[in-house]
Chain A
Amino acid sequence: MAGLLSFGFLQRALLAGVFIGLACALLGVFLVLRKDAMVGHGLSHVTFAGVALGLFLNVMPLSMALLTAVLAALGLMKLKERAGLYGDTAVGIISSVGLALGILLATLSHSFNVALFSYLFGEILAIENLEVWLTLGLAMIVLAAVLANYRGLLFLTFDPDSARASGIKTSRLESLLAVLTAVTIVLGMKVVGILLVASLLIIPAAAGLQLARRFRQALLLAAVASFLSVVGGILAAFVFDLPASATIVLLSFVLFVAAFLGRRVKGTA
């Protein structure tokens, strides 16, 4: 193990992966409880459009992905409010349009190549130093924002009307949640790729929620599940020459199943 960890690329991958995983896990608990789990899926398709736009314009794809994801997240919120759509319908619309735009732009710019595929499937083992620092910075911002607004977000998630009646600026918190989700999706894209990034938001959170009886417990268990998935997945991928993104997601699913069985054995109500 010590030998493995002496490799610079593994150190970078683990460092970035763990922080991204933690951000996804904490945010994921709120999204799953709000029944907004599929928002991540929808935003990942928009992120694809952002990456394709970046390749089309020859501008840094990560920055275009961030911009389009944030705009789409805020647009999704407004679509639900103004057009009176159910959440999953709004996600379906945004997701479809994002994917279609991405395919169109990628075709027009002849970008169906290795660069695009690395965004689709993730390449955490190839992450560079600058990307690590950028990723760490953004992940810390997401973690700090969630922890700083933890009580308000919890109240909003549990009982939105009462939260508003207590003077909490719920529309600001909704916007914050939308932006944080967008940023986290773009971060997660590096670890597991656009196709699987939503699973980083959903599965560790779902695993934590199987066993938690208190909210702090749910956050802690989701963070543990995410940590184990990311670290175990990256190491296993390197040792057995497997795709890191798929290994991380499948390992997180194994942990979810273990949590599910653990709950049945424990008889948690």
Chain B
Amino acid sequence: MDSAAGERDVLISVRNVSFRYDGQPVLLDVSLDIRAGNFLALLGPNGSGKTTLLKIMLGLLKPQSGAVSLMGRPLAEFKDWSRVGYVPQKATHIDPFFPASAREVVAMALSRGPQETEEASPRKRRDKAVERALELVGMSEFGSRRIGSLSGGQQQRVFIARAIATGPRVMLLDEPTTGVDVENQERFYDILAGLNEKEGITIVQVTHDIGIVDRHITQVACLNQRLTYHGSHEEFCRSQAFRDMIAGGNHLVAHRH
């Protein structure tokens, strides 16, 4: 593949990014390309900078050095945020009494207008986008339920629906299965795999749990302030980085089904 075609495939490019918090290094000279079509697991122990890197990619944090570009544009100039979906870490921070239905939560992502559809009126376009997103995550029948009345797994599915409502090319998820029971985690990853394989959405997922995503991920990136591995999932499982991560006593859940 020539370099021009390769560049077009890169959705997120991180170049020499370093970040310190209160003088303490969190990320050191990290460079990473995320290409279209992949399902990438961003692994690392606690405090390795995974969430920080995710937030830098989204423009929520500014690195002290280095640069990020999204779909070929420098982050500061990037405007097409409907192409980027974000599912934050589970929501112990979400007010359980917040008066919003699942449908209203999904519609929040369409604050800036939904993607073009054949519907004429903005309201119908928005409603259609919301219903489609809920359907894709299997939450259509829960649309009228208050978000706080849903289980943890159901809430996370609603947040995925919100992230995909705008028709993103890439979706970034930060430990989305925290607090979700194992059975629902399986279902959750099946949904993500469906979005990746059938809807063509590139997925970047911060996780501790390499085992549960074993069946679906295509790429692995390991972070421990620096990028210690980036490559295919198959090669990762045979790599020294994998052995180091397991042997290091870091909090990684590795289990087989």
Which residues of A does B touch, CB under 8 Å?
Answer: 33, 151-152, 154-155, 158-159, 161-168, 209, 212-218, 269
Q: Once the chains are docked, how many angstroms separate the CA of A36 from the CA of B60? A: 23
List 12 additional A-B contacts (Cβ < 8 Å) besides A154-B100, A154-B111, A163-B111: A151-B111, A163-B108, A164-B58, A166-B82, A166-B111, A166-B166, A167-B79, A167-B82, A167-B112, A214-B100, A214-B146, A269-B146
**CB-CB contacts of B83-101 with A at 8 A, as 1s and 0s?**
0101010010011011111
Looking at the complex, which one of B60, B86, B107, B146 makes contact with A151 (CB distance below 8 Å)?
A: B107
Q: Taking chain B's interface residues, is the majority helix, strand, or loop, or is none over half, making it mixed?
A: mixed
Scoring A152, A163, A164, A213 by chain B CB atoms within 10 A of each residue's CB, the highest score goes to A213
Q: Using Cβ atoms and an 8 Å threshold, which residues of chain A touch B149? A: 269
Say yes or no: B84 contacts A155, CB within 8 Å. no
Q: Once the chains are docked, how many angstroms separate the CA of A88 from the CA of B25? A: 32
Tell me whether A215 and B81 are in contact in the complex, defined as CB-CB below 8 angstroms, given that A165-B58, A166-B86 are known contacts. no
Q: Using Cβ atoms and an 8 Å threshold, which residues of chain B touch A212? A: 99
Q: Which residue of A lies closest to B163 (CB)?
A: A162
Say yes or no: A158 contacts B99, CB within 8 Å. no
Say yes or no: A154 contacts B99, CB within 8 Å. no
Say yes or no: B101 contacts A214, CB within 8 Å. yes
Give, as a whole number of angstroms, the nearest-CB distance from A43 to chain B.
Answer: 24
Which residues of B does A touch, CB under 8 Å?
Answer: 55, 58-60, 79, 81-82, 84, 86, 88, 91, 94-95, 97-101, 104-105, 107-112, 144, 146, 148-149, 159, 162, 166
Say yes or no: A166 contacts B98, CB within 8 Å. no
Say yes or no: A168 contacts B94, CB within 8 Å. no
Q: Using Cβ atoms and an 8 Å threshold, which residues of chain B touch A162? A: 86, 88, 108, 159, 162
Q: Using Cβ atoms and an 8 Å threshold, which residues of chain A touch B94? A: 158-159
Say yes or no: A168 contacts B112, CB within 8 Å. yes
Say yes or no: A213 contacts B81, CB within 8 Å. no
Say yes or no: B95 contacts A33, CB within 8 Å. yes
The 6 residue pairs across chains A and B that have the minimum distance between CB atoms: A167-B81, A151-B111, A155-B108, A165-B86, A212-B99, A165-B58
Q: Using Cβ atoms and an 8 Å threshold, which residues of chain B touch A209? A: 97, 99
Q: Using Cβ atoms and an 8 Å threshold, which residues of chain B touch A159? A: 88, 91, 94, 108
Q: Using Cβ atoms and an 8 Å threshold, which residues of chain B touch A216? A: 104
Q: Using Cβ atoms and an 8 Å threshold, which residues of chain A touch B55? A: 161
Say yes or no: B99 contacts A213, CB within 8 Å. yes
Say yes or no: B79 contacts A158, CB within 8 Å. no
Q: Which residue of A lies closest to B83 (CB)?
A: A167
Say yes or no: B111 contacts A152, CB within 8 Å. yes
- 11 A-B pairs with CB atoms under 8 Å apart are A151-B111, A154-B100, A154-B104, A158-B94, A158-B108, A162-B159, A165-B59, A165-B86, A209-B99, A215-B104, A269-B146
